[in-house]
A and B are shown apart, each in its own frame.
Chain A
Amino acid sequence: MAAPLRFNVMHFMPYSYLPENHKEYKSTWVSFPNKFFDPEKGHELYNRYIGELVLADELGYDAVVVNEHHNTVYSLMATPNIIASALVAKTKNVRICVWGTPPNFMLPNRLAEEYAVLDVMSKGRIEVAFPLGTGMEYWSNPVNPATARDKFRESLKIILQAWSEDGPTTHYGNHYTYRFLNPWPRPYQRPHPPCYIVGTGSPETIEIAAELGFGYASVFVTQARAKELNEQLRERAAHFGHTIRPDQLPLLTFVYVAETQEQAEKEYIPHLQRFFEDYARTIPQYLAPPGYLSVDQLKVRAATADKMHGGFDFKAISSSFFISVGTPDKVANDIGEWSARMKTNHINSVMHVADMPHWKTVKNLTLFAEEVMPRLRQRAGSPQRLAAE
């Protein structure tokens, strides 16, 4: 393989103190009562999680990734730019990926400004992704899911205009009017930080990435589907005159490394099970608010959900998604094979899930950095550190 691999650590920063009776509630998103949030525990978790990403910097990872969710134990990052700000101050080399704030939940100039502040503060270490936002976020924010895609597109146009064109400029659209679009500061990276679209495979969203020449990160789709989506993006981007580079296709993986296969599975699987069963637990109504999906997409997803019904099955789930659990050799082999198959050199790994304790996270981060990354970099014949370019 020609292109050097790039390694990200993605953190969801969950509220890992789920009450034992949480199953009395229909979802751990949207309506799960916030009386269960204990600020003392929250304080401990923020410090711990930020510390884990600082460790990732020290261990030589290329990037750390944060993202945004609302009203949920799944993630404590309702405001990821604030987390990113702490990371800018506490890290030295890693690129900091905010993947990201749904533009629909913020004024577009304000989002352009926040990313620019982070980019200038960090001397150009910021990368951003623009998600439409999950269905759940539209129950939690006062934004219409039925007009969300139109608003999303307009927001992106404004943000790119704010970054790429000398201000002041104007914008007169369906959702926003700017008489003086002229944000200070502008990003450190010119014309702007690397941009991606994040999504679960709606053709409408891929089309936006293709048109703008952005990267596309598919999340929570099967291996086969992820491959199709990467190919779709390449094909549609070519239609708009863009060539998609391998690094524009981050591959979402879940990894856990230990000394033996048996130990890795024993240490990891219970947390992964809780991640899927408890922390990602939601209902169809929250996943698809009215108008959020096209009717075709709703039917496709409803049909798939029916098929996937059933208990947690590690073998099935790890072959369906990009999940690698085992020895350094096993994990390096999996990632090497996936990156070749998916034609990407950009590995985005979730290394902490659900209620995994700190020591396991540190162990996982350390073994992956010291045992897996060198194996893969050796194969690729790549430089030690991509971010230091």
Chain B
Amino acid sequence: MSKFERQTLTVDGVKTVVHTAGHGEPLVFFHGAGTVDGFDFAERWTDRFRVIAPYHPGFGESGDDPSFTTMHDYVMHYLELFDMLRLDRFNLVGLSMGGYLAAKFASEHGHRIRKLSLIAPAGLIDPKNPMLDILAVPGEAVPGLLVSDFEVLKKKLPEKPDLDFMGDRYREAGTVARLFWEHPGDPKFMRYLHRIKVPTQIIWGEEDKIIPAGQAETWRKFIPNADIQIYKGAGHLVHLERPEAVDAVARFMG
């Protein structure tokens, strides 16, 4: 396993920080709507893949672009970044909101994707298994909803109230609000999901309190051959709670 190296790029005027580690086929990871979980978990992929983990604009170490108001803006951002990185064809893994983005990217630019792995992906309007309206949840209540075993997340959180940490989370929530406050779901996203033809894996924690694992079966309606893996005893951040889920991604991509 190798450690990530940090690279700062300017993509269409936006400061974009990309963490890269490992050798082999390229594997891009899209993080979710918060960045508390970090990229350390992805070191498990670095033995077999060159892992490329960018921070989306408005999150983590990347800069802000207030003109980003739709997921399509992020698709365009990544087309530009992948061109800069000379990434022609690659494996794509997306977590939660990053899963939504990965699926959208794959439905629009499938020829650039080798294999797709979606971990607890957001994006579906699924009235029988509705996603929690995370924007309506008070910030202090969010961490408890992310995992099944809080100890897993606790070490990534400040011990005492921390203004900078609070500010970082508020900034990311603001970026999410910009995208989803008025329209948490986009029916057009599902309209074109059937265009995903690449081998696709879907991973979920059975006890996900943010996006119910029941949505995995709904994804199957759009991507009939998806390989679905549900992990018992894990919540939304299944990649932190279950290292074998992280290994399953590498196996699928391999």
Contact = CB atoms under 8 A, between A and B. Distances in A.
A146 B166 contact: no
Interface stretch (B71-79, B172-180, B212-220): B172-180
Nearest to B166: A302
Interface string A269-283: 000000000000001
A302 B169 CA distance: 13
B5 interface: no
Interface in A302-317: 302-303
A295 B167 contact: yes
B40 interface: no
B170 A290 contact: yes
Interface in A252-310: 283-285, 288-293, 295-296, 298-299, 302-303
Contact of B181 (A146, A284, A288): A146
Contacts of A292: 174
B24 interface: no
B85 interface: no
A147 B179 CA distance: 10
B138 interface: yes
A213 B180 CA distance: 34
A144 interface: yes
A290 B69 contact: no
B171 interface: yes
Contact of A298 (B167, B175, B178, B182): B167
Given A299-B163, A299-B167, A290 B173 contact: yes
B132 interface: no
Interface string B143-184: 000000000000000000001101110110111111001100
B138 A291 contact: no
Interface residues of B, number: 20
Chain A at the B interface: SS class = helix
B163 A290 contact: no
B69 to A, nearest CB: 7
A225 B178 CA distance: 30
B182 A290 contact: no
Contact of A290 (B164, B166, B167, B181): B181
A285 B139 contact: yes
A129 to B, nearest CB: 25
Contacts of A293: 170
A19 interface: no
Report, nearest first, the 7 A-B pairs whose CB atoms are least far apart.
Answer: A291-B174, A290-B177, A290-B173, A146-B177, A146-B178, A144-B181, A291-B177
